[in-house]
């Protein structure tokens, strides 16, 4: 029996991944400009993109799967 693909779930995953990449690139470019004062060139943008994509994938694949609300709930319920 074939497992049915949940396209809505995959759509959300890809939206978050693309959004994460775009925001990651933007924040990295801002940080470079503010911290170093270097001009933003195509070479700098290329390097930032090469660095931002793996971190966005890592964030989507690992960190977005962790249910932090449940973890915090367990921690704080023990203290009561």
What is the domain extent for residue 57? 7-79
Model confidence, pTM: 0.62
Task: Give, as one character, the DSSP assignment of residue 65.
Answer: G
In a domain, residue 15? The reply is: yes
**For 18-63, what is each residue's pLDDT tens digit?**
887 888 899 999 999 999 999 999 999 999 999 888 888 787 777 6
Say what the pLDDT of residue 60 is.
Answer: 74
In a domain, residue 43? The reply is: yes
In a domain, residue 2? The reply is: no
In a domain, residue 34? The reply is: yes
Say what the pLDDT of residue 13 is.
Answer: 74
């Amino acid at each position: 029996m074939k497992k049915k693909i949940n396209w809505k779930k995959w759509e959300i995953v890809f939206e978050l991944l693309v959004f994460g990449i775009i925001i990651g690139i933007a924040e990295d470019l801002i940080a470079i400009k503010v911290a170093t004062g270097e001009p933003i060139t195509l070479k700098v943008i290329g390097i930032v993109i090469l660095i931002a994509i793996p971190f966005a994938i890592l964030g989507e694949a690992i960190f977005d799967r962790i249910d932090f609300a449940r973890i915090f709930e367990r921690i704080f319920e023990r203290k009561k």
